[in-house]
């Protein structure tokens, strides 16, 4: 039996801002319980939903030396679907009304505290991991601390670490003096071959240098980040560690996302009856959102954080033109003001065809996956992307830019061989995107039989965790034979 510890800044069902939480919430369940005891540590945020906070059980507390102070570390615990979660409680650090704040220095301090606390609680909860599996910059210091100060202690000696990159864009960096002060790490660690990054100290970089293995969430992204365009300044390091870097594509929870059993849908459907049943979800949503009710009208869904990463500048650029097509556009999500306002504007201007839902709702997201004919995701970069996997599962055809995980999970339509599960374009160009959307429109309106065959293929591809969880296990085995 091997012990695996996940450490991350968010996890479903407790707290979620993005795909990281979905992965942290679903992957541990899929690791074989016969051979692995997987547990998870996340912060105890005050902004967690009350019904979730109510599930936590207090374990104990102690004080830890941190940043020139003695800092309180509370431990809470909960078991969900057979997985034990631990929560680090500290009201000074995790009291915000959102999980993440805008003050970079304080963010670095918070997650430095979290990383150190996560290591410090292990003897207290009496769980000695064979491997600590770290996720994103917030946990980048764990492999560093593990080598630097904890190895001296018998309990920690020999623990291996893995760093998984969900998004290389966020690294947790600030000037070296400040990072040195917060982390308590000596000068030695701030040279360019370690945490030093130009004038900054870089937490993710620390993780990438000191982890025993590195993964990211798709094969293509694993290749892309070795190049300057996607490498965010770390491509050199990733080339140097190429032998320890692998891509393992994310899956989604096939129980939560199942059009046949989805509680949010008025008209559940499956692979056999989608031709008749799926459109009923479309007319239901048209009514609910005040769009023109027309089952023949092609509906294009967007569920996303409204940020540059997701390609919204392309959409903004051609939105007016796009609104002259015979489509309906349904958006759900929040993000940068300019994009929130852009969608609000077009929803006002074309109210029967554009629905802007500038908030987040689990229920509405499921309804959009079920109701839409196509799903738009023109990302500038996309480590994996989960929405396109959800769309495929619901027989909603993804239209994507072929980058990162989008390239690995959506096979572009090939009309000569009647193959493919979606539409893809290569260059980050608004009219290339619009041209591809129009190809999809043409097939939808002019050749419904072919379209439906594609829906059929989309619903058949398997992006459950089955295959990828196996790959993580192979890696665990390779690290700890």
If the CB atoms of residues 328 and 468 are measured against ligand GLC, the closer one turns out to be 468
If the CB atoms of residues 113 and 230 are measured against ligand GLC, the closer one turns out to be 230
- Dihedral sign for Cα atoms in the order 164, 474, 389, 320: positive
How buried is residue 480: exposed, middle or buried, by Cβ count under 10 Å (0-12/13-18/19+)? middle
What is the nearest approach in angstroms of ligand GLC to the Cβ of residue 23?
5
Binding mask 383-402 for ligand GLC (x = CB under 6 A): xxxx----------------
Residues 46-65 within binding reach of ligand GLC (CB under 6 A): none
The only residue of 23, 131, 203, 327 in contact with ligand GLC, by rule CB under 6 A: 23
What is the nearest approach in angstroms of ligand GLC to the Cβ of residue 418?
29
How many residues of this chain bind ligand GLC (CB under 6 A)? Answer: 14
Kindly indicate which of the ranges 148-156, 239-247, 346-354, 380-388 contains the residues binding ligand GLC, using the contact rule CB under 6 A.
380-388
What is the nearest approach in angstroms of ligand GLC to the Cβ of residue 98?
16
* Angstrom distances, CA of residue 20 to CA of 26, 29, 383: 10, 15, 11
Kindly indicate which of the ranges 17-25, 92-100, 240-248, 296-304 contains the residues binding ligand GLC, using the contact rule CB under 6 A.
17-25
- 382: tokens are 């996309």
User: Three-state DSSP class for 424?
Assistant: strand
Please check whether residue 401 is in contact with residue 377, taking contact to mean a CB–CB distance below 8 angstroms: yes
How buried is residue 325: exposed, middle or buried, by Cβ count under 10 Å (0-12/13-18/19+)? middle
If the CB atoms of residues 265 and 475 are measured against ligand GLC, the closer one turns out to be 475
Q: Residue with structure tokens 């980040």? A: 225
Question: In degrees rounded to 5, what are phi and psi of residue 276?
Answer: -95, -40
Kindly indicate which of the ranges 62-70, 328-336, 339-347, 377-385 contains the residues binding ligand GLC, using the contact rule CB under 6 A.
377-385
Closest residue to ligand GLC, based on beta-carbon distance: 19
The only residue of 26, 112, 115, 167 in contact with ligand GLC, by rule CB under 6 A: 167
Residues 6+ apart with CB under 8 A from 424: 399, 400, 401, 402, 406, 407, 410, 412, 436
- 380: tokens are 């500038």
Kindly indicate which of the ranges 16-24, 47-55, 66-74, 268-276 contains the residues binding ligand GLC, using the contact rule CB under 6 A.
16-24
Task: Say how far apart CA 63 and CA 477 lie, in whole Å.
Answer: 35
If the CB atoms of residues 334 and 452 are measured against ligand GLC, the closer one turns out to be 334
Residue 216's beta-bridge partner residues? Answer: 165, 247
Please check whether residue 344 is in contact with residue 319, taking contact to mean a CB–CB distance below 8 angstroms: no
Give yes or no for residue 200 binding ligand GLC (CB under 6 A): no
Task: Say how far apart CA 81 and CA 40 lie, in whole Å.
Answer: 12
The only residue of 78, 203, 217, 374 in contact with ligand GLC, by rule CB under 6 A: 217
Give yes or no for residue 166 binding ligand GLC (CB under 6 A): yes
What is the nearest approach in angstroms of ligand GLC to the Cβ of residue 166?
3
How buried is residue 310: exposed, middle or buried, by Cβ count under 10 Å (0-12/13-18/19+)? buried
If the CB atoms of residues 217 and 397 are measured against ligand GLC, the closer one turns out to be 217
Rg of the chain, C-alpha, whole Å: 23
What is the nearest approach in angstroms of ligand GLC to the Cβ of residue 181?
30
Give yes or no for residue 115 binding ligand GLC (CB under 6 A): no
Task: Say how far apart CA 143 and CA 240 lie, in whole Å.
Answer: 18
Upper half-sphere CA count for residue 401 (Cβ side, 13 Å): 24
Residues 230-259 within binding reach of ligand GLC (CB under 6 A): 250
Give yes or no for residue 20 binding ligand GLC (CB under 6 A): yes
If the CB atoms of residues 26 and 202 are measured against ligand GLC, the closer one turns out to be 26
Residues 6+ apart with CB under 8 A from 115: 7, 138, 139, 140, 141, 142, 145
What is the nearest approach in angstroms of ligand GLC to the Cβ of residue 383?
4
Give yes or no for residue 7 binding ligand GLC (CB under 6 A): no
The only residue of 4, 6, 19, 99 in contact with ligand GLC, by rule CB under 6 A: 19
The only residue of 107, 200, 262, 382 in contact with ligand GLC, by rule CB under 6 A: 382
- By the criterion CB under 6 A, which residues form the site for ligand GLC? 18-20, 23, 166-167, 217, 250, 382-386, 405
């Amino acid at each position: 039996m091997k012990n695996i510890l996940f450490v991350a800044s968010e996890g479903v069902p407790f707290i979620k801002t993005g795909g990281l939480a979905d992965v942290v919430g679903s992957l541990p369940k899929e690791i074989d319980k016969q051979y692995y005891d997987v547990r998870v540590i996340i912060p105890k945020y005050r902004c967690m939903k009350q019904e979730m906070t109510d599930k936590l059980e207090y374990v104990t507390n102690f004080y830890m030396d941190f940043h020139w102070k003695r800092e309180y570390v509370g431990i809470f615990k909960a078991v969900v679907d057979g997985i034990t979660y631990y929560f680090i409680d500290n009201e000074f650090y995790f009291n915000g009304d959102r999980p993440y704040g805008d003050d970079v220095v304080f963010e670095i301090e918070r997650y430095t505290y979290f990383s150190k606390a996560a290591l410090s609680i292990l003897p207290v909860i009496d769980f000695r991991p064979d491997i600590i599996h770290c996720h994103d910059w917030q946990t980048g210091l764990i492999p560093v601390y593990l080598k630097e100060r904890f190895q001296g202690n018998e309990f920690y000696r020999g623990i291996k670490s893995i760093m998984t990159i969900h998004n290389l864009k966020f690294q947790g960096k600030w000037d070296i003096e400040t990072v040195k002060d917060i982390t308590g790490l000596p000068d030695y660690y701030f040279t360019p071959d370690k945490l030093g990054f130009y004038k900054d100290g870089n937490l993710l970089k620390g993780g990438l240098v000191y982890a025993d293995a590195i993964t990211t969430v798709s094969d293509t992204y694993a290749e892309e980040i070795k190049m300057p365009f996607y490498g965010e300044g770390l491509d050199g390091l990733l080339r140097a560690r190429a032998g320890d870097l692998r891509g393992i594509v994310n899956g989604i929870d096939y129980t939560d996302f199942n059009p046949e059993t989805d509680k949010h849908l008025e008209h559940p459907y499956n692979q056999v009856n989608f031709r008749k049943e799926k459109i009923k979800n479309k007319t239901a949503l048209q009514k609910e959102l005040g769009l023109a009710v027309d089952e023949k009208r092609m509906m294009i869904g967007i569920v996303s954080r409204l940020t540059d990463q997701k390609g919204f500048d392309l959409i903004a650029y051609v939105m007016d033109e796009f609104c002259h097509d015979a489509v309906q556009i349904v958006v759900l999500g929040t993000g940068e003001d300019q994009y929130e306002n852009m969608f609000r504007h077009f929803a006002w201007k074309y109210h029967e065809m554009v629905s802007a839902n500038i908030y987040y709702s689990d229920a509405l997201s499921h309804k959009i996956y079920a109701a839409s004919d196509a799903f738009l995701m023109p990302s500038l970069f996309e480590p994996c992307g989960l929405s396109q996997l959800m769309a495929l599962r619901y027989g909603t055809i993804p239209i994507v830019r072929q980058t990162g995980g989008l390239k690995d999970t959506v096979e572009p339509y090939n009309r000569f061989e009647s193959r493919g599960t979606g539409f893809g374009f290569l260059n980050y160009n608004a009219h290339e995107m619009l041209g591809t959307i129009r190809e999809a429109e043409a097939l939808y309106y002019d050749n419904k039989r072919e379209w439906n065959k594609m829906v059929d293929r989309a619903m058949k591809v398997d992006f459950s965790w089955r295959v990828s969880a196996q790959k993580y296990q192979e890696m665990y085995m390779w690290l700890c034979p």
